[in-house]
Amino acid sequence: MRITAVVALFADLPEAELTTWVARGWVQPDQGAPDAGAWEFHEIDVARVRLIHDLRHSMEIAEETMPLVLSLLDQIYTLRGTMRDLLRALETQPPDVRTSVLAALPRE
């Protein structure tokens, strides 16, 4: 998907603003064809644009705060993926190992 198609998904997102987000590294689309110089936005990039748009426009997160907010969100998403992998690995273990791991978890 090209930048014009992404911008068309949002009534209040100018192309210049999205270009700034890419320049700042907030969104990292593929470079596309070298001779065309066009970005190629994939589904994950559009989801990231939607997140940033919501943070900036709906939640009114300040521009200077965005790098911190995005970094924290990225850490949360990474942690969720790691936890998902850990749970999958735990599911493949024998019942006694799973029981031991669960018993070692702190209780509230």
pLDDT value for 31 = 86
Based on the domain organization, do 5 and 51 belong to the same domain?
Answer: yes
pLDDT at residue 35, as a whole number: 52
In sign, the C-alpha dihedral spanning 5, 11, 17, 22 is negative
**Are 86 and 45 in a shared domain?**
no
Task: State the Cα–Cα distance between residues 19 and 72, nearest whole angstrom.
Answer: 22
Q: Report the pLDDT value the prediction gives residue 108, as an integer from 0 to 100.
A: 78
pLDDT per residue over 90-105, tens digit each?
999 999 999 999 999 9
pLDDT for residue 99: 93
Instruction: Give residue 54's domain range.
Output: 1-61
Ranges of the chain with pLDDT below 50: none
What does the angle CA 15 – CA 19 – CA 20 come to, to the nearest 5 degrees?
120
**Whether 26 and 40 share a structural domain:** yes
Checking 58-65 for CB contacts under 8 A at 24+ apart, the result is none
Same domain for 74 and 48: no
Give the pLDDT of residue 33: 60
State the total domains in the chain. 2
Find, among 28, 24, 53, 54, the residue nearest to 40 by Cα. Answer: 28
Question: Within this chain, do residues 33 and 70 fall inside the same structural domain, yes or no?
Answer: no
